[in-house]
Amino acid sequence: MSHPTAPFLPSTQWITTQDGSVTLMGPHLEPYHSVHGALTESQHVYQQAGLAYWHQQHPHATTCHLLEVGYGTGLNASVACTLTRPGVSLHYTGLDPHPLDPSTLSPLLHSLPTPVATQLAQLNALSWGDRHVLSPSLSIQKHPLAVQDWVPHTPIDVLFLDAFSPTLDPALWDPTCLALYASFLRSGGVLVTYCAKGTVRRGLMQAGLIVTRLPGPPGKHHMLRGIQV
């Protein structure tokens, strides 16, 4: 998740979640990932309902441009990078105005399956601001920017919205920002988020997306997926 616009309160408190993976307790006692299963939430919301769904809907696509609002620990990025489809190049961009120090993330690495942990360690070691080509089918760029300060160079196919909650960081969930996210998406583009709050659902609909409330990961009744028409 991205950090709030209010002064950030650093924390090194790690919590073991119900699937055995750990999460970092962030500012104002809000965790970066679900305490009901950090890895499970990432796979359910962002990998399966987001990127895998986009692959299913675009079987002939050869390129996917993925934007994450809230790079955080890099877990969602790592999970996305492990979901590859032959013939499709993934170009990932992550935004976070307050990047975490990779040296503090070893507890998370040790709690993850080896493929995800290996990918995550590689991603977190990359410099910010530069685009890194990791293979012919995978490139990564991390920007230490707020989403309001970022300018896209190409339409986005999949958008992971994983900011801290509307209570903690309301600016990233207000109608202006929700409309901004929708404007990034190309026709057929997919936005997914763990947050199913009614104001967020209505804001995404007002921004022109077709929004579906889906079953959420453990601990949450629902999540949201929006499609750009």
How far apart CA 20 and CA 29 sit, in angstroms, is 20
pLDDT for 42-84, tens place per residue? Answer: 999 999 999 999 999 999 999 999 999 999 999 999 999 998 7
* Mean pLDDT calculated for residue range 177-199: 98
How far apart CA 84 and CA 61 sit, in angstroms, is 13
pLDDT confidence bin for 11, thresholds 50/70/90: low
Q: Report which of residues 6 and 46 the model is more confident about.
A: 46
- Give residue limits of the domains in the chain: 14-228
CATH class of the domain comprising 14-228: alpha beta
- The 10 Å CB-count burial string (b at 16+, else e) for 186-202 is eeebbbbbbbbeeebbe
Residue 191 has pLDDT above 50, yes or no: yes
The pLDDT assigned to 104 comes to: 87
pLDDT for 161-185, tens place per residue? Answer: 999 999 999 999 999 999 999 999 9
Residue 10 has pLDDT above 60, yes or no: no
How far apart CA 161 and CA 165 sit, in angstroms, is 10
Q: What count of residues does the chain have?
A: 229
Q: Are 223 and 45 in contact (CB under 8 A)?
A: yes
The pLDDT assigned to 99 comes to: 92
For residue 161, give the nearest of 144, 186, 184, 140 by alpha carbon. Answer: 184
Torsion angle (degrees, nearest 10) of CA 68, 88, 137, 229: -30
